[in-house]
Amino acid sequence: MNDEKITAATPIPSYLIECLVWNAPPEAFGHDTYTADVREILAHLFNKTIRFEDCREWGETNELIYLFWNGQDWNFNQAHAFVSAAWDYLGYE
């Protein structure tokens, strides 16, 4: 997405994507296809990043730092925009 100049992907480091996926619930994984897993993960992330209150307790994969609290190079609005753009990029409806 970044190589194709999709604006929402530009400020998103791969570590943030890793952390977002890490915060997806276990039931988002283990479908018959990876495509189904990705769809479920993106849907969950989209719904939970609409409001800060729904993702404020999410942490980085190291479980030491909150993902969207002050001092980060990103915020939940950027994450939400990225997830939304990823959904569209993959052609989900």
Distance CA 74, CA 68 (A): 7
- pTM (2 decimals)? 0.94
Residue 1 lies in a domain: no
Range of the domain at 45: 7-89
Distance CA 30, CA 47 (A): 20
Residue 61 lies in a domain: yes
Distance CA 5, CA 90 (A): 15
Structure tokens at 80: 């939400």
Distance CA 45, CA 27 (A): 13
User: Domain total for the chain?
Assistant: 1
Residue 23 lies in a domain: yes
Tens of pLDDT along the chain (93 residues)? 999 999 999 989 999 999 999 999 999 999 999 999 999 999 999 999 999 999 999 999 999 999 999 899 999 999 999 999 999 999 998
